[in-house]
Structure 1
């Protein structure tokens, strides 16, 4: 759901990280610092993440104002197909007709025919579906590159991106690594850390969350020894190796707390209440920033995390998860 033609479009703020890399604030939910895109200003310009359909015109106008003409964008790489990351991909494909849309191979069919993705998202998000996310629009299959176990994108000038599967947060998640600069773009697979947060909080939503796979993906990231780790929610976390280890530790703490509550009483409300008592203090008010707690609740809320953890524990009890 892009804005109507007569609605004013606020271009996404773009903040230079280096001469060849900029953060694009997607203005998700009308708030700043919710979901970041990253513009690689290489000979073949590449956008990592685009945000949801509702705010995608802001992203398009922002990167055009930053100097990208319609024929310039070579790639849009989406870490996973959740709507806050790739919901606006169809609009980007239309606005930049030379761009190849890059997603996990599992996500290709949902980009071509998003009917099921839109329907399931509407069930999950309820009234927020229309106001925050909006419907994905179809993309021609010949415009899409599906990432298998490993893929390399040629960015020109000797630069490349290495893409690889990183399940755990979602089965259709990929990691994105620039070996020349050490930049690692991790989507939601490391967690979230936004204004008002002193620690990384895991993102464990249903239906795909898998604890064992998530920890393995974090180990994969550690093996790369990245120079910078860029979270979609929101921005770089430093020092990078310590941040990745923190993500592993915090995920373990959340898993242990959820399992203890679930063992006592497997009811979702009980588990969510227990986690709320334990972890609500992770998010604090920020002076002059009334959106601080709302950002976290939107993207990694206690109940959403509890739903994913409880589903994982139920499947684990049935022997239906990775070991």
Structure 2
């Protein structure tokens, strides 16, 4: 857990490894909101961090999930049971899956497998419909007078919004503004890659969403994976260029009988090359190790996109 300026606390949810998955506690005038929350198995750790921050659980008015992938929203059900005043703010496309997570659970098991699901995601619970607030594009969450604006940002998923906090000129971008692990920072700043994980990746929509984020000239963007990044205009340009490169790689392999395996290899080469240019030490070994799960999921998402595009 780390406190930033503007009443924002970064919580490491503990998903998979340290500094991989963040939740954000935002405080204003004695009230609080939690933005993204990790998986169900992360809920005890998130609650402990809230307590350690000196925040009364009853003062948390909002749990805001940028989208309903389980590393962002899987813990919502258990957390809502422990946060008596909170309402859940969710994209209209995601709300049914928070009220009844049956299909979410089945989809996650298909992606991760039964064993990994049991280890990292078990314990999901439904959220009562009476406590769910639908966040259409432009929906404003009032946190004791501090406006948190939910902006529709598809591309990673159709059920994704990002949160604009004008008080700090910051975005809470979920997965729309990519993945950036602190282990790959250099003197040039953060190293970022897009996340095209299954099953709704849309390269055009993702580029449009990145542009929408950049249009506010943000001072910083808070990523779920992981933490705060600055130099937002440069990172946004890098993301847009990489989305185009990733789509081109996928199209070139569209008819390859081992498309997935070759996509994993091609993405690995792309990210290693970019990391080397960014000054990442020993990028050829560190990037495949640190980004292994992300590369696998990105390849799956690109494959899903190709299948939809061919229809």
Please name the residue that 1:267 is paired with: 259
Name stretches of at least 5 consecutive residues in structure 2 with no aligned partner: 186-190
Deviation at 1:220, TM superposition (A): 0.8
What CA deviation, in whole Å up to 9, does each residue of 1:190-223 have, x standing for no partner? 1101033353111101111111111111111111
Which residue number in structure 1 is paired with residue 220 of structure 2? 228
**TM-superposed deviation, 1:104:** 0.6
Match of 1:137 among 116, 119, 125: 125
- The separation in 1 between residues aligned to 2:286 and 2:15, in whole angstroms, is 12
Q: Which residue of 2 aligns with 1:177?
A: 164
1:278-317 correspondence to structure 2 within 5 Å? 278-280=270-272, 296-298=291-293, 300=294, 302-317=295-310
From 151, 161, 173, the counterpart of 1:186: 173
For residues 59-92 of structure 1, the C-alpha deviation after alignment (integer angstroms, 9 at most, x for no partner) is 1011012112231101111111111111110111
Q: Could you say which residue in structure 2 is the equivalent of 1:36?
A: 22
User: Offset of 1:164 from its aligned partner?
Assistant: 1.5
The count of residues paired between Structure 1 and Structure 2 equals: 299
2:89 to 83, 93, 102: 102
Cα distance in 2 between the residues matched to 1:293 and 1:27 = 21
**Residue 136 of structure 2: aligned partner:** 148
Distance (Å, rounded) in 2 between the aligned partners of 1:170 and 1:181: 26
Given that 1:196 and 1:286 are in contact with CA atoms closer than 8 Å, whether structure 2 keeps it comes out as no
State the partner residue of 2:53: 66
1:294 Cα offset (Å): 5.4
Please tell me whether the aligned partners of residues 266 and 310 of structure 1 are also in contact (alpha carbons under 8 angstroms): no
Distance 1:201 1:19 in 2: 27
- Establish whether residue 15 from structure 1 lines up as the match of residue 2 from structure 2: yes
Q: Is the 8 A contact 1:150 1:163 kept in 2?
A: yes
Residue 134 of structure 1, CA deviation = 2.1
SS at match of 1:269: helix
RMSD: 2.3
- What pairs with 1:42-121 in structure 2 (closer than 5 Å)? 42-43=28-29, 44-121=31-108
Where structure 1 has 5 or more consecutive residues not aligned to the other structure, the ranges are 1-13, 319-323
Query: For residues 136 and 295 of structure 1, do their structure 2 counterparts lie closer, same or farther at Cα, with a shift above 3 Å needed?
Result: farther
Contact in 2 for aligned 1:229/1:236 (Cα 8 Å): yes
User: Alpha-carbon deviation of 1:271?
Assistant: 2.7
TM-score (norm 1): 0.86
1:196–1:293 contact (8 Å) kept in structure 2: no
1:138 is displaced (CA, Å) by: 0.8
Following superposition, the deviation at residue 253 of structure 1 comes to 1.8
Q: 1:273 to 1:104 in 2, by over 3 A?
A: same
TM-score between both structures, scaled by the size of structure 2 = 0.89
2 CA distance for matches of 1:238 and 1:82?
Answer: 25
Q: Is the alpha carbon distance of 1:294 and 1:269 closer, same or farther for their aligned partners in structure 2, counting shifts above 3 Å?
A: closer
Query: Alignment partner of 1:196: what SS?
Result: helix
2:57 counterpart SS class: coil
1:15 positional shift: 0.5
CA distance in 2, matches of 1:291, 1:16: 28
Contact 1:283-1:293 at 8 Å conserved across structures = no
Aligned partners of 1:194 and 1:296 also within 8 Å: no
Q: How far apart, in 2, do the equivalents of 1:145 and 1:221 lie?
A: 23
Shift in alpha-carbon separation, 1:286–1:278, aligned structure 2, 3 A: closer
Deviation at 1:129, TM superposition (A): 0.9
